Amino acid sequence: MPALPSTGAQLPADSDTISTLSEHGELTRGEPPSEAKESSPDQPRNPPPYSIHTLWEKRFIVLGASLSAFFSPLTAQIYLPALPTLSKEFNVTSSQINLTVTTYMIFQGVTPMFIGGFADTAGRRPAYLICFVIYIAANIGLALSKNYGSVLGLRMLQSAGSSTTVALNQAVVADIITSAERGQYIGITVIPIVLAPSLGPVLGGILAQYLGWRSIFWFLTIAAVVTLVPLLLFFPETCRKIVGDGSIRPHPIYRTFWQMIVDWRRKRAAARKAAAHKPGLGRTTSAATSGSQRPKFKLVSPNFLGSLIILFEKEVGLLLFYSGLVFAGFYAIATALPSQLQENYGYSDVVVGLMYLPLAGGSIITALVAGPLINRNFRRHAAKLGMAVDSSRQMDLTNFPIERARLEIGAPLLSLCIAVMLVWGWVIQERVSVAAPCVLLFLMGVGMIGFVNTINTLLIDIYPSKAGAAVAANNLTRCLLGAAVSAAIQPMITALGNGWAYFLLGAIYIVFSPMLYLVVRNGPRWRAEVVARDKRRAEKKEAKEKERETAGLVAEVTKLKA
């Protein structure tokens, strides 16, 4: 691994430079706001809290989003044990039935680009509702399928419904969690991505063996309904373009049933109070007041190309490509593991499924440990710059070396991934004691999930207002590279053997690792260029709008004179 360079980031001349919040609660970068200057002693020097939600409310919101994200990786893996049965029932070849897995992964990578962009403008709750309705309908159709064609088509629909929940999961974290405490929460969101693939094959095998393959999809249907109901009842809208820090009262379409009940109780109490003071007028006054205060619903056209645009940004492009390579290595191990264990160790399907548990255990441990380390390193760098950290308020990261702060934690974890990848194939090929693969799988879970955790955190730090599109771009590169490596690993093993095949993947990790060096060295400058470019575009857009308004006024005056 190359040494991380010094970014040369310095504290601005005005040490009170802070970020400001727009009327919708979005973070904006630039000059210090007027309320931070000494000339305004009566006004607060600090920005308002990033979110009005309490600590436990944040935890429950992130937990709800993480449980929803469980379905995408679970659905991909729970189906695998039933493939031979489906092949026989529909009288198709193994290659044809494997096509249902390939198409699932393709849609898993592409769909979040569209719904993720929609969620960034139209809100998280509508996006969740769309995802779960599609997913539940697809599962019911799959459970009732009578031919191969319907299974193939409905698997695509099933993937379209479940895949975006992963992007929404991390977008919700960006909505309510500041950079100072984001590492710990992002760690929680990564757990479903690895835990589900570990538990899915075991659960799918049990269901398929004892209840038949259709029970897999009925199980997923029931689980989705059980998850959707609490989301509708209690999960609040968090998109900052709609509710800001959570204090903006949105249109009823964005409000939970619980919030509607609370509103109704408050209106009824206000009406009774008004009626007690002015009999006969309370009901009318309350209704009029309620109607005048009801927010208008405005659906903003989503930017479906946002994820593709993000992919071509220099800093994010390098991060996503390298992160995708690392995750592809995980797919290379997970995909070939069943056949390797059966051929080299003679394990049954159930034991093979249990061998995924060390990977899950390492993933959970690093998710719990790496998060606090990421937060601690953030505070350490802030202290070096003399910047006070308030976890309830979002800091201005314009002059903050956020890339270095995050990747100082990610680099050692990446080194662990590289070490495991270099020796994994030789351990399997030489049929070393089963304890060795278990230890390596545990270490891979620690290193890989810890590294991906830091990349996800950094990605949201760079694009806090476009978290859905940014994570969707991450999902796209991860799934496409994962699909490519999953398809290539078996031919590589056949041609090179287990040892050299995985050693080659580890060497690829090393060869492309200088990408992270470039991100740390040039990231702050690239971010500044993006901010300046976006500012110019906003100014041009505002100028054009003013020109249209002026032209409209001139036209009206001309008509009046005529």
**In 3D, which of 73, 135, 78 has the Cα closest to residue 109?**
73
CA distance 220 to 229: 14
3-class DSSP state of 117: helix
Q: What is the DSSP string of 328-378?
A: HHHHHHHHHHHHHHHHHH---HHHHHHTTHHHHHHHHHHHHHHHHHHHHHH
Please compute the mean of the pLDDT values over residues 400-404 and round it to a whole number: 86
pLDDT tens digits for 213-230? Answer: 899 999 999 999 999 999
- Give me the CATH code for the 55-242+304-532 domain, please: 1.20.1250.20
What is 249-312 written as a DSSP string?
Answer: ---GGGS-HHHHHHHHHHHHHHHHHHHHHSTTTHHHHHHHHHHHHPPPP--PPP-TTHHHHHHT
- Cβ 336 vs Cβ 330: under 8 Å: no
Distance CA 466, CA 116 (A): 9
Q: Which residue in the block uniquely carries the two structure tokens 């909505």?
A: 175
pLDDT (tens digit per residue) in 476-499:
888 788 878 877 888 888 889 889
Domain residue ranges of the chain, discontinuous segments joined by +: 55-242+304-532
For residue 167, pLDDT beyond 90: no
Letter for the amino acid at 6?
S
Dihedral class, residue 99 (left if φ above 0, else alpha if ψ from -120 to 50, else beta): alpha
User: What are 133's two structure tokens?
Assistant: 């309705």
**Cβ–Cβ under 8 Å, residues 116 and 170:** no
pTM of this prediction exceeds 0.85: no
pLDDT reading at 248 higher than 90: no
pLDDT of 518 reads 92
pLDDT-based confidence at residue 424 (cuts at 50, 70, 90) = very high
Average pLDDT, the chain: 78
Number of other CB atoms surrounding residue 114 within 10 Å: 17
- Asked if the model's pLDDT at residue 545 lies above 60, the reply is yes
| pLDDT at residue 31 is higher than 70 | no
Reduced to 3 states (helix: H, G, I; strand: E, B; else coil), residue 21 is strand
DSSP letter for 28, please. Answer: E
Distance CA 22, CA 244 (A): 8
Q: How many CA atoms does the CB half-sphere of 237 hold within 13 Å?
A: 28
Q: What is the pLDDT of residues 452-469, one digit of tens each?
A: 888 888 888 887 767 667
227, 68 Cβ separation under 8 angstroms: yes
* pLDDT tens per residue, range 338-356: 778 878 888 776 677 778 7
Average pLDDT over residues 70-86: 83
Which of 16-20, 334-338, 448-452 shows the lowest mean pLDDT across its residues? Answer: 16-20
pLDDT, tens digit, for every residue of 502-516?
999 999 999 999 999
